[in-house]
A and B are shown apart, each in its own frame.
Chain A
Amino acid sequence: MQPQRVWREIPQRYRLEAGQCRKCKKIFFPPRLKCPDCGGEAFAKLRLPTDGKLLTYTVVHTAPERFAKLAPYGLGIVELSNKVRLTVQIVDVEPEELKSGMPLRLEFRKIHDVGHAGVICYGYKAVPA
């Protein structure tokens, strides 16, 4: 992955920056230019909370090459305390202990690295709260 592709997502991946529609107050992650609900085009920048719960999950056994050494790993959709949802790996927990509804917290983690001299890709993962 080229550095600029990783770099431009830093506000979302490192700081969980979302956009809140000034008109209808709905929060979008990642941010958008137009609110699909009310048509608003003005957004406030806001940081997502890190606490939430597991909505649904899977345990990935057949993984893409860059994640192969992590398999089997938990992957799920987390609903944060402000109702924003994101797709995220769930770590620091045995896959068989995953349960829909369990409380989780987002942490800053390494996601993967690219080759020997490639960039290291960071982002958020979820851990049991």
Chain B
Amino acid sequence: MRPVAVIGVGLSPWGELWRSSLRDLFAQAALKAIKDSGAPRIDSLLVGCMSGGLFNSQEHVGALVADYTGLKGVPATRVESACASGGVAFRQGVLEVASGASDFVLVGGVEKMTDLSGDGATFALSTAADFDYEAYQGATFPALYALMARAHMDKYGTTREQLAMVAAKNHDNGLLNPNAQFKMKVSVQDVMNSVKVAEPLCLLDCSPITDGAAAVVLAPVELAAKLKKGPLAKVLGVGQAADAMALAQREDITRLEAAELAAQRAYKMAGKSPKDIDFAEVHDCFTIAEICAIEALGFCKPGQGGKFTEQGHTALKGSKPINTSGGLKSKGHPVGATGVAQIVELVEQLRGAAGERQLSKARVGLAQNMGGTCGSSVVSILGREGK
């Protein structure tokens, strides 16, 4: 397998963008990434998109976005794994370059969510759960994560305040990210006083509904080194796993087993362990998700995610900065784009181009993306090569 580098990154604007369509959003991010990469051509395109069908009455998204990105003729493949669609597309792209099948691969992710009302979007998202046995009973996504939160609180003594601290911390980071959808200071009290969605989760525990796209260009390291001067963002490892779809069927509902497995595979491929990771973007679709994710990734012991957060380890200036971009919580969560946007943040940090939120130590970064209540997860590890 050939070593692979990320040579270009791009984001569209993120937010409630009534003037932008699915195809426009994708093309904006993709054209930026292609320009940034300096790639002489694109051999293949992958696009993560959870539900063009429900959100925009538009399937066949691969061909559509290839057409509007000016990439007529390329093999264009849409990848779906609910909110992990983007991260899974990224892993597929890495494997495609590593295998030698393609040299320059564009991996994008897109979701145009505000074409539906809030209720319509809630319904579309609920199809990432077990529809016949969870959504049928009246379960929403916040409700399923609330079940995990309550179980975590009962089992480990995680507190309501610790959940809120995740949101407050990620909004602090988002304030420093010009691309974030919700650039606003949010206090622990604000989170706890916000309207109840599914107890114990309140509105400010939840990531928002977002229109947006993200894209990266991949190339084999040997070609990338000829194209680009300066340090390279090299893909060190990728891992992916699936778990029981319905939360009730998991052995331990406080654990994200698919994320644990994905992480083990990525660590093994990269030859790294949790202590080697300088910073990470994790899938904080709800505050409890970040707590469970940092445990699954081995940054702290099982059950200690709340305490680890409270002690400040995950803050921008902490020992293990988590979600320097603002995370899904503040940056926004266009579901199909999220996994790719996490890679964009890793690359910007590794390049030293993350502006006000730039970390002093950013040589190895990790991205964790998950679908549903972690029925699927993908973990990618990137490292900075050269000076």
Contacts and interface: CB of A to CB of B under 8 A. Distances in A.
Contact of A58 (B123, B134, B135, B143): B143
A100 B142 CA distance: 18
Ordered nearest first, which 10 A-B pairs have the shortest CB separation? Answer: A58-B146, A56-B151, A85-B248, A59-B199, A67-B138, A58-B198, A61-B196, A56-B150, A62-B197, A56-B147
Contacts of A95: 199
> Is the contact region of chain B dominated by helix, strand, or loop, or is it mixed?
helix
A123 B199 CA distance: 24
A56 B201 CA distance: 14
Contact of B140 (A64, A72, A85): A64
A73 B137 CA distance: 11
Nearest to A62: B197
A87 B140 CA distance: 12
A111 to B, nearest CB: 7
Interface in A65-96: 65, 67, 70, 72-73, 75-77, 85-89, 95
Contact of A75 (B132, B139, B200): B139
Contact of A30 (B133, B139, B154): B133
Contacts of B119: 64-65
Interface of A: 9, 30, 36, 55-65, 67, 70, 72-73, 75-77, 85-89, 95, 100, 111-112, 121, 123
Contacts of B133: 30, 86-87
Nearest to A99: B154
Contacts, number: 94
Interface centre among B133, B138, B248, B249 (most CB of A within 10 A): B138
B253 interface: yes
A58 B147 contact: yes
Contacts of B126: 64
A26 B143 CA distance: 28
A52 to B, nearest CB: 11
Contacts of B249: 85
Contacts of B225: none
A99 B302 CA distance: 24
A60 B195 CA distance: 12
B118 to A, nearest CB: 9
Given A56-B253, A86-B133, A63 B151 contact: no
A67 B139 CA distance: 10
A73 B138 contact: yes
A72 B195 CA distance: 13
B247 interface: yes
9 contacts: A55-B151, A56-B151, A56-B253, A65-B119, A75-B138, A75-B139, A77-B253, A87-B247, A89-B138
Contact of A56 (B132, B142, B154, B195): B154
A57 B142 contact: no
Contacts of A30: 132-133
